[in-house]
Structure 1
Amino acid sequence: MNQQLGELWRARHFIRTSIRNEFVSRVVRSRLGFLWIVLYPLAQVAIYAFVLSIVMAAKLPGLTTAYAYPIYLTAGILAWSLFAEIVSRSLNLYIENGNLLKKVVFPKLALPAIMTGSALLNNLLLLAAVLVIFAFLGHLPGAAIVWLPILMALLLVLALGVGLLLGLLNVFIRDIGQIVSIVLQFGFWLTPIVYNLELLSERYRHLLYLNPLTGIVQGYQDVLLYRQAPDLGVLIYPATCAAVSVVLAVWVYRRGIDDVVDVL
């Protein structure tokens, strides 16, 4: 594994260039370019805010601003979009790049690095657009925003661990890709993005905390909506899940990457 990490470091210029080329290609080939990166998640916010704002606006404790619920939604979707993009793209990462994997000189870890870098760049651009909108609404997160990189890093580790594990398994069991697409749809609604956990009974609230994204999304909401530091106690479980998922992904990668190349 140390040898592969060394190859990854030596390929850092290739990875950076690939991320830049993917972004430029995506922007240049579209008339709206950059707007497509932020348009879909912001459209989600607009739809849910329009449908649910009257019901949910009064359900956010300690907030009276008219824009509280859209900001609450935006914080959750910002976190979810990064997780969902990495997991979704990881599912077919090896399948779609089989020809590259068969090249002896190609560093195989470069593929997840390029994919992660591209997803992170898209999310950072979305974050920039969100902060501009928040500034227009008079609701900047203030000093609490220093916690956002920590939450983002935790989310990246969790998404990458889960995504790579599923992506490797999907090479051998192609049904996994279809199953995960359905699970992600349920996962969105089992994460407190469009609703507040306070609306649920304590029994169901505890069940939703089994979802490692719950604590991370709440951290995003604490920073961006409530302008306060996240509850570190709530982040222990997501951090544990992230560590376990990465360890499992590395274990499966080391044992199965040669078989992946053979299957492809």
Structure 2
Amino acid sequence: MNDSAWFLLQALFLGLVEGFTEFIPVSSTAHLLLVGDWIGFSSGNDKVFEVVIQLGSILAVMWVFRARILQMLGGFFAGDPQERRFVWNLAIAFMPAAVIGALGIRYVKALFHHPGVFAITLALGGLIMLWVERKPRYAKRPDDPSETEVSQHASAHTLEQISWKQALAVGCAQVLAMVPGTSRSGATIIGGMLAGIDRRTATEFSFFLAMPTMLAASVYDLYRHGAALDESQMLAIVVGFVAAFLSALVLVRAVLAFVARRTYRPFAWYRIGLAVVVACWVLL
């Protein structure tokens, strides 16, 4: 196998890794960078490949939720107060990461080159998830009798019931996810749960928030670095993009079905275990 074919095979594999990890709270970026390093994949110092192929996963979510997106947009332009509230809440949640990202993206990307950062954020994130899941603050969804943790503190059971303060809390949590290894989905879901949104609704809101966030990040990265990409790098991005789309298409419904009946504890323990592996790899 020549070098070009091996490079594209690596891109295909990493695209699958991205699609399978983007919407579970284990940090797709950490997996892309760590696995890429372990298999000898080099995408350049700007890490455009790792950012842009995430858009494939986002398009998979948009396809799964296409009916809901059309309902949201139609209601917004028709003056439906609930849909307008939902759209404005997404805008509120999007703004913190947009502002901080535009101002500090170069400093954030500098952290991509330090595996030790992943060990810390993976472990810390796992411990926080275990702590949050032990708190009896999640209310029973009206349409989901399987939820057993009930509390008066949870106040949002549907996307339309999320308040602007809860949306802002989720947006601030997303800023933390700019640090590699934190997990965008993990930070926004846990942030939403702490703000009083039930687990499944927090997950759905995280999916919708990912759409403008990752679209903006991908377009911004291509605008800044696209001209410097050669033909092989562009082809690798296309291959990784398609692989991420197809694998995420399989995973999204599975994640929603899982969170309707289970906690995030297995993912927390996985993060802690991976953090130990990464720490040993860095130290040894």
Coarse TM-score class (shorter-chain normalised): 0.3 to 0.5
> TM-score, structure 1 length as denominator?
0.34
Higher relative contact order (CA 8 A, sep 6+): 2
> TM-score, structure 2 length as denominator?
0.32
Query: Quick check: which one's helix share is greater?
Result: 1
